[in-house]
Structure 1
């Protein structure tokens, strides 16, 4: 009985976790200005940079169901895999807070990024002159 309980708990935890992101081939970025995307998509193929986005996505903590961000994102990123593409919006504030929302047909989920992930993403984004971190993020 104890083994069955442990197996059920592990099954439930794995069903609620982020998708397997190890097979990410590249990342596509689309920057936003105010409430709409601007410029062309950029393809990130450097393994170190891909790992920055994959790691941040994997370690993000899901917020309460129904939590939606009103503030326009800094960018949309797509983790491109062999079989599917996983789309997210990204927000980083000047105070070092970070959030992502998964963009899935059955409903978005909002996640909070940990401090290490925010720092890694800030470091990556410093290479882009047009990126200005947000004053604040507002929720519905």
Structure 2
């Protein structure tokens, strides 16, 4: 009977210790690093999350490459990159990736003889430029 009570006490103590360790780990601040583009929204999310949970989020906007290096080195809780990693880059790392933020791309051009506001690219024309179907500024779709 004494052996049973001692074993039960040890089991309860171990369960309590592991529970407190999990809770303590969950209460630790979250750290991230990576792309500069999502920093403004991450900062807003971090403030809201801290107010709601008391848990801080520290994000270093050091660039996608730096974020990838830090998450692979396990020096941060999460990394952020503008471009997703390829499957072979993820293999064996234990990492998972998913989209967080989307952003627009704005083409900026400086064409001799074209004044600001004169060049208007509609959606289909812009899509054809990005698809490589339009490769020169004298394309009829642009001239119209």
TM-score, L = length of structure 2: 0.30
Q: Which has the higher strand share?
A: 1
Compare relative contact order (CA 8 Å, sep 6+) and give the higher one, 1 or 2.
1
Larger Rg computed on CA atoms: 2
Of Structure 1 and Structure 2, the greater helix share is in 2
TM-score by structure 1 length? 0.31
